Amino acid sequence: MNQIQYPLYMADVEQLKKEAGIAACSFVKTGMKVGLGTGSTVKHTVIELPKLDKSMSKVEPTGTAAVILPGGDEPEIVPLYDRETFGVGAVLKGPAIIGQMDTTTLLARNAIATVDEWGNILIELEGANK
């Protein structure tokens, strides 16, 4: 009895999905809003997207605001940042206000925010026990 040989094995299919997901990133440009589906190929795109534009690791304020910070009595001028401009490796020292579509984050004076490889903002407090 002859067995049918399929040209692709599951490992090959997964590799092709990975290559397609990564290749899709070549169409993304800085500042572009990207809509992603829920298929099994998109996970590779999601992993690759934050790595695209290393120039996004340097963040620039979009403005300032007068804010009374915790422990303060008088307003201080605090820089404002747009979260969508943060790339992998971006580092920001507080005080600062980070705005994005669905939330606003106040970065305290003793806080340092770093964007990880997945695009998450990790906030550490200087002097905090690790």
C-alpha span between 82 and 86 (Å, rounded): 8
Q: How far apart are the first and last CA of the chain?
A: 64
Residue 106 is predicted with a pLDDT of: 94
C-alpha span between 3 and 69 (Å, rounded): 72
Q: What is the pLDDT of residues 10-57, one digit of tens each?
A: 668 888 888 888 888 878 776 677 787 888 888 888 888 777 665 556
At residue 128 the predicted structure's pLDDT band, cuts being 50, 70 and 90, is low
Residue 70 is predicted with a pLDDT of: 87
Instruction: Please name the amino acid found at residue 2.
Output: N
Who wins on pLDDT, 73 or 29? 73
Domain range summary for the chain, segments of one domain joined by +: 10-52, 55-125
At residue 6 the predicted structure's pLDDT band, cuts being 50, 70 and 90, is low
C-alpha span between 128 and 117 (Å, rounded): 23
Q: What is the pLDDT of residues 97-126, one digit of tens each?
A: 999 989 999 999 999 999 887 788 999 998
